[in-house]
A and B are shown apart, each in its own frame.
Chain A
């Protein structure tokens, strides 16, 4: 990734995200962005889209949902920094006609731009203007196609992964929805699973190999 400060204003981008963060009630410091190229600055609409899509994946239940914890802003930042190998050049065999228009010169994919087009296309119009139940139905189908066994490569896999990371590594996601024990203090090698028992976000081996 280029380390040059390209033409776009980092301050502007950071400012935009900060406003966005403010609207979500999360600290702006959590979405610090540095050294990113102009073309990686998401538009307002892309920011709204990824926030919405994140919340469709992990909605509020008896614990906060993705929108409550600012997952969209995390995904935008993560994509800009290339987490989950999202800045890696795509292998030539993976570049279909549907993906080619969204490639950067370095061969990597503009995930948010792709997502915006793909969802609008699935919606036959403006995805964000659909009712929530329609958006749920559209995204369910979109997700099912991408995640089906033997499905061709889809950038959705990486985006979905980042949505999960954004949620389950947030404090509510990691410690309310799941259990977080920094210092278990003991090893119990065989205990029964009780009804409602939550998985651990602090089982680091499971996080790695899960």
Chain B
């Protein structure tokens, strides 16, 4: 692949959740596709090295080497899902540097590997509604989405049916139902909380988290049902959660039309001003340092929101001096990440004799109830929702308890008391000042680094302040004794829902992409990861990225057939 000896119909940059979908949809449509992944190859099952390890088989008992983490993983180590078991599914920060604007923090959690963050994602799958697609138009932040829910609904259907999303249909306008596999049950505390909260607040519904874990096997995909281990991020040999490896990659490979290159950092798209097309994709073989290129009729960017923007910024040329597809000047701007914090935690008495068996790989969700048909948010115009759940303590509660000796050991022997946690995710407002630019510093391969300038604004703070009050009120209503709650968001990036930077819009003068996730300026270029988002909603975004990717693939194939690209 060092020259033009292989001509592809499509090149897909990135192999995560949306890259996998692009590869699947485009190959299944008959296209010859090259998928380029900057990280190493991870083979389904064979390479999930820590999957079945017990803590006593790990050098640091699963906690990891804090000394190594401080030195090489200072950002990734802040992720709750980064452990000794999963550390090889995250980047080494020392090898993959980025810059933060002075005085502004951003914790960028990344996974550079075949499958990307599809291996480590939280698996929560929520549809957006027209409260979300209409949000920018309603309150004037950002630019209006050029699509609405009705256009995306069939694509949500399509991706959910393939992904396998377990969840309960609840008939909520703000969180539309999907094509669900049977839901996992709420535990006894959550069940009681659902009933008590609904009795007091008819507009607030606690339901089980909609998750990409199979409650029914998918033999046709070679995927087994969930084993209730809840160690997904180590990799799942059952293929029970949706990942590139478990689902989209095998489907794409099966067509015989997919070529995959790993350890290949794409650093530039070559633009031909005569044809106004991307004419080649350039990468560095990170193992040999060799520079390579390939050409294709269309290019899909699925490198991850910020990396796709980074690539466009690094692809500036004489014809497009401010970055590829950036005639509008908005490339890199209006980045978002949900403002997130633990809004409330409560002891839940009254369920002492009851417990569960198995580790359910999802929690609960209380969908948005603010600023729907009535603008009832004080100081904020959008929404927030809660995720969390009720759980029983185990030995780690001993870290906060006085006591030593046999009695103390006997106490920790027992199943601990119930607590309930509500974590809030609030809409992140699209703001021009939150943006990505190129740093003058380079990475170890000589590529200019990305600089991130991001901070939450007063709307997010107002939403989190309200969320803390409401979390406490609901936990109390559910019979709990609230002992903790926060209203200050974590650093940007904490939600791992970073998005935007190449927003979709009606007008080429104020947006990067059109309604088909296609660059206004460059007809054969599509960006279908989180970069395309014009607003953030407060739901986990991956399902929407997948639906938009499938839709864009369909549009691109039609355009190819019509000779439009």
B416 contact set on A, CB distance < 8 A: 199, 206, 210
Q: In the docked arrangement, what's the CA distance between A37 and B87, Å?
A: 24
Q: Find A160's partner among B55, B59, B359, B399 (CB 8 Å cutoff).
A: B399
A47 at the interface (CB under 8 A from B): no
B446 contact set on A, CB distance < 8 A: none
Q: In the docked arrangement, what's the CA distance between A182 and B57, Å?
A: 13
A203 contacts B401, CB within 8 Å? no
Q: Find A81's partner among B65, B184, B359, B410 (CB 8 Å cutoff).
A: B65
* A-B residue pairs in contact (CB < 8 Å), sample of 15: A36-B67, A59-B409, A80-B67, A81-B68, A147-B403, A166-B61, A191-B354, A192-B353, A199-B415, A203-B394, A204-B230, A204-B231, A206-B394, A209-B391, A210-B393
Q: In the docked arrangement, what's the CA distance between A85 and B398, Å?
A: 18
Of all A-B residue pairs in the complex, the 10 with the closest CB atoms, nearest first, are A210-B396, A169-B55, A184-B358, A147-B402, A189-B185, A169-B61, A210-B393, A188-B357, A206-B394, A82-B66
Known: A160-B398, A192-B353, A205-B359. 6 other contacts (CB 8 A): A144-B402, A170-B56, A177-B413, A189-B356, A197-B414, A210-B416
Known: A185-B358, A199-B394. A180 touches B67 (CB 8 A): no
B394 contacts A139, CB within 8 Å? no
Interchain nearest-CB distance for A204 vs B (Å) = 6
A199 contacts B395, CB within 8 Å? yes
B409 contacts A177, CB within 8 Å? yes
Interface residues contributed by chain B, number (CB under 8 Å) = 63
Contact with A along B40-69 (1 / 0, CB 8 A): 000000000000101110011111011110
A83 contact set on B, CB distance < 8 A: 60, 63, 66
Interchain nearest-CB distance for B75 vs A (Å) = 16
B274 contact set on A, CB distance < 8 A: none
A13 contact set on B, CB distance < 8 A: none
Contact with A along B416-439 (1 / 0, CB 8 A): 100101000000000000000000
B229 contact set on A, CB distance < 8 A: 182-184
Q: In the docked arrangement, what's the CA distance between A25 and B495, Å?
A: 45
B404 contacts A190, CB within 8 Å? no
A131 at the interface (CB under 8 A from B): no
Q: In the docked arrangement, what's the CA distance between A80 and B71, Å?
A: 14
B188 contacts A189, CB within 8 Å? yes
A193 at the interface (CB under 8 A from B): yes
B202 at the interface (CB under 8 A from A): no
Interchain nearest-CB distance for B71 vs A (Å) = 6
B187 contacts A190, CB within 8 Å? yes
Interchain nearest-CB distance for A175 vs B (Å) = 8
B227 at the interface (CB under 8 A from A): yes
Chain A interfacial positions (CB closer than 8 Å to B):
1, 3, 30, 32, 35-36, 56-59, 61, 74, 78, 80-87, 136, 139-140, 143-144, 147-148, 157, 160-161, 164-166, 168-171, 174-175, 177-178, 180, 182-193, 197-210
Q: Find B67's partner among A30, A81, A168, A190 (CB 8 Å cutoff).
A: A81
A188 contact set on B, CB distance < 8 A: 356-358
Q: In the docked arrangement, what's the CA distance between A174 and B412, Å?
A: 12
A1 contacts B353, CB within 8 Å? no
A57 contacts B405, CB within 8 Å? yes
B149 at the interface (CB under 8 A from A): no
Q: Find A148's partner among B389, B402, B412 (CB 8 Å cutoff).
A: B402
Contact with A along B56-98 (1 / 0, CB 8 A): 1001111101111011000000001000000000000000000
Interchain nearest-CB distance for A132 vs B (Å) = 11
A147 contact set on B, CB distance < 8 A: 400-403
Q: In the docked arrangement, what's the CA distance between A157 and B396, Å?
A: 12
A186 contacts B399, CB within 8 Å? no
Q: In the docked arrangement, what's the CA distance between A160 and B397, Å?
A: 12
Q: In the docked arrangement, what's the CA distance between A48 and B408, Å?
A: 22
Nearest neighbor of B80 in chain A, beta-carbon distance: A208
B360 contacts A187, CB within 8 Å? yes
Nearest neighbor of B70 in chain A, beta-carbon distance: A1
Interchain nearest-CB distance for A154 vs B (Å) = 11
Q: In the docked arrangement, what's the CA distance between A176 and B8, Å?
A: 57
B228 contacts A185, CB within 8 Å? yes
B395 contacts A178, CB within 8 Å? yes
Q: In the docked arrangement, what's the CA distance between A185 and B399, Å?
A: 30
B405 contacts A1, CB within 8 Å? no
A169 contacts B56, CB within 8 Å? yes
B60 contact set on A, CB distance < 8 A: 78, 81, 83
A174 contacts B358, CB within 8 Å? no
